[in-house]
Structure 1
Amino acid sequence: MDFDFTWVLLGFPIAFTLGWLASRLDLRQLRIENRQAPKAYFRGLNFLLNEQQDQAIDAFIEAVQNDPDTSELHFALGNLFRRRGEYERAVRVHEHLMSRGDLTQPERDRAQHALALDFLKAGLLDRAEIALRKLEGTSYGEESMLALLAIYERSRDWAHATEIAGKLDSASHGSFSGRQAHYLCEQALTASASGDTEEALGTLQQAIRLAPNSPRPLIDLAKLQSQLGRHQDAFETLLKLEKTAPQALPLAASLLGNVAQQSGRQQQATDLLQASYASMPSIDLVEAIIKLDSNPGEPRDRYVQHLEHEPSLVAAAKWIAGEKLGDEHQHILVQRALDKATKPLMRYRCAACGFEATQHFWHCPGCQAWDSYPARRIEEL
């Protein structure tokens, strides 16, 4: 049977036509997809600007599905999940980014940083620590170390906090010597509580060398020396406090009075307290002076003298406490009312967040700021 070339000649144009149609369909589909991805992306931006986060997430998911290789869309989607508190989904997005082999090193660092923030926001501090440690030496290095510092403070891991603060200080990211001194004081408290007083004393001396103008190491050292019966040493330590950080002396006024009585240096302590009071009147200094005063009739006069310097309701209440106001029952009622009114005035207040407390804190329980509590009572501010 002879082969009919007529069918071949007819088949060429048909095959060409079908190929042309197929290519046109592919190009059309590609153009539709390319139009859909930007359209979904811009729709997501529009929702985001209008604070419609649910709709924005849906739009970005659509955009990512149409263009899975776009890293910026993944970053936007992951950040949205984190802002909404959907930390598991944020972690999956950023882990998917980290698994890609086509990411540049800056993008990989950015994804690592975003992943660390996901863990941090989710409260997974151990995983956040690992992720942040990997950013050391990158463009996110300083930010990651500050986040690590917050983690160690939150978990009261003072040894690691000291290490990170030292790195930040040596890298010229501001002075962290005061913060390091606080960490060393915290370690000294732990050592003292466990009975290792020599370790505590050495750590406090290290803190003093590191931050000689910081009041806390000197006050903590004087307290520990007093507990050990070394009252002369404690008194000398508080003399250093008066020279290096005189504004903090009201915090140690009561302690100064105690160690002065134990060491027989009442007059020297009284002179020091009165000199400090002359430059900065304080009810704590008044109480310490009264404690050291040998004249039993002086206390009420001291309160009157304080009222000449400061309109103090606390001093007035203490003066009235020693005065007989007619009927004893009436006196008790008046004194009870004054005590209730003055109690809030004897608190300390954080200058950063306004958190009030009956005791002075070096580290605010409210906002976690360091050295944010003035050494003065609320009434004296």
Structure 2
Amino acid sequence: MEFELQWLLIGLPIAFALGWLGSRLDLRQVRREQRDAPKAYFKGLNLLLNEQQDKAIDAFIEAVQNDPDTTELHFALGNLFRRRGEFERAVRVHQHLLGRADLGETERDRAQYALAQDFMKAGLFDRAEEAYRALLGTPFDTEARLALLNLYERSRDWHAAAEVAAVLEHNGIGSFGQRMAHHWCELALEADARQNTEEADKALAHARKAAPQAPRPLLIAGQRLARQGQPAQALAIWNELRARDIPAFALIGEDYVNAARACGQTEAARQALQEAYARSPSLDLLRARAALDGHELSADPALLQHLEKKPTLGAAAAMLQRPLSQWDEPAAQAVRVAVGRAAQPLQRYRCAACGFEAQRHFWQCPGCLSWDSFPPERIEEL
């Protein structure tokens, strides 16, 4: 009995010591693993901040290999591949994440969004559309709809673009009325090209409803009426446009003149053009008024005053078309000012390495410090 008690007293401390030692060894191993993974991660982050993307990718790959279950490392690696233009590798990383059964719903949506961005950047628009549509109704719903809107506009799918924009506006994301008006205007132009007048009328009605103050629906509506042989109705529409947006009205100045001549309203049109020019002077309005009076813009007496107020190359070019017998010192001075003003941005030296521009020549670029990167010729001479 004394023998067993003796061994028991000796064995208990030994067992405790062995257990403690084993736990310490396991704890050291866990700590070592936890220390190694962040070390690789922070190494990659440091390289990324120093714009060493190749080495950063290698560090992140090492971190992912040490801990394949770390989703953040996968996202970082996929984003790096996308930034470098390695879209196929980015797609593989994000598809691998989506294929994991243990991925939570939030992380799955995030991976789906990253995958959609990969497809978009790679120019795979059909797959990008499918990936973005899979995000509708998720926390990434707004981002997906905005991306789909840009995608549909790029592919000229105006019906789909208008539908997405309407949903975004209904959800309170912002005001998309002007954008929807452009979508419906594009549809109206397409319908007119197919000679589908009824569909074009409906599209323009939708455009005006989406953005009642938008100038483009009025501009197109007037042009359609003029082509249909209704110049008086076209003038009425364009007068409404003139009251709202004179710069947009200036775009159809010549059409306005032709419609006024067709229906015998030249005097009213002249008054309208003069009032519009007084409120917002532009060369287009001046050219339309000259056409209404039956002479070229170069012969218009108001051209010199316009050139003095707005010394642009367009006005100077019109002035140069005048006969030499009509030139005087004020006209010459106005042209000199306009040409000199337009030439200033071109009379600079530009660094071939970074694009830095300066009025004088440098042997060493002040921007990127490169030597001999400034060609001795100015921009206009290159």
Q: Report the TM-score, using the length of structure 2 for normalisation.
A: 0.75
Partners of 2:296 and 2:104 in 1: how far apart?
A: 79
Query: Partners of 1:295 and 1:35 in 2: how far apart?
Result: 84
Give the letter aligned to residue 69 of structure 1.
Answer: D
Matched with 2:230 is 230
1:141 to 2:146 alignment: no
- Return the structure number with greater relative CO, CA threshold 8 A, min gap 6: 1
Q: Which runs of 5+ in 2 are unaligned?
A: 1-10, 327-331, 344-382
How is 1:359-370 mapped onto 2 (pairs within 5 angstroms)?
none
C-alpha separation in 1, matches of 2:319 and 2:66 = 80
1:299 to 1:81, Cα distance in 2 relative to 1, 3 A: same
Kindly report the root-mean-square deviation, in angstroms, between the aligned alpha carbons of the 2 structures: 3.2
The CA deviation string for residues 223-265 of structure 1, in whole angstroms up to 9 with x for no partner, is 1221222212211110110122223221121111111111111
Distance 1:279 1:297, change over 3 A: closer
Paired residues of 2:181 and 2:207 also in contact (CA < 8 A) = yes
Structure 2 CA distance, aligned partners of 1:307 and 1:114? 54
Aligned positions of 1:246-261 closer than 5 A:
246-261=246-261
Alignment of 1:109-258 (within 5 A): 109-258=109-258
User: Which amino acid in structure 2 is aligned with residue 178 of structure 1?
Assistant: Q
| CA deviations over 1:26-70 (Å, ceiling 9, x no partner) | 666555433322222222222222222222222221221221111
* Aligned 8 A contact 1:307 1:316 in 2: yes
Matches within 5 A, 1:1-381: 29-293=29-293, 299-307=299-307, 309-311=309-311, 314-315=314-315, 317-325=317-325
**Amino acid of the residue matched to residue 275 of structure 2?**
A
AA matched with 2:81:
F
Amino acid at match of 2:216: R
For 2:162, give the aligned amino acid: T
| Structure 1 Cα separation of the partners of residues 287 and 94 of structure 2 | 60
Moved more, 30-39 or 290-299: 290-299
Query: 8 Å contact 1:95–1:115 — kept in the other structure?
Result: yes
Q: Secondary structure at the match of 2:135?
A: coil
Matches of 1:39 and 1:235, distance apart in 2: 73
- Tell me the amino acid that sits aligned with residue 104 of structure 2: T
C-alpha separation in 2, matches of 1:23 and 1:282: 85
Give, in whole Å, the separation in 1 of the partners of 2:108 and 2:134.
11
1:155 maps to a residue whose letter is: S
* Whole-Å separation in 1 of the counterparts to 2:229 and 2:142: 44
Classify the secondary structure of the residue corresponding to 1:68. Answer: coil
Between 45-54 and 271-280, report the one with greater CA deviation: 45-54
Is contact 2:299-2:322 (8 Å) kept? no
Please list the CA deviations of residues 311-351 of structure 1 after superposition, one character each: whole Å capped at 9, or x if unmatched: 4554454345342449xxxxxxx9xx99xx79x99xxxxxx
Pair 1:114–1:299, CA change in 2 (3 A)? same
* Percentage of identical aligned residues: 51
CA-to-aligned-CA distance 1:281-332 (integer Å, 9 cap, x gap): 1111111111212689994324245346544554454345342449xxxxxx
Uncovered stretches (5+) of structure 1, i.e. residues with no partner = 1-11, 327-333, 346-381
> Is this contact kept in 2: 1:182–1:216, CA < 8 A?
yes
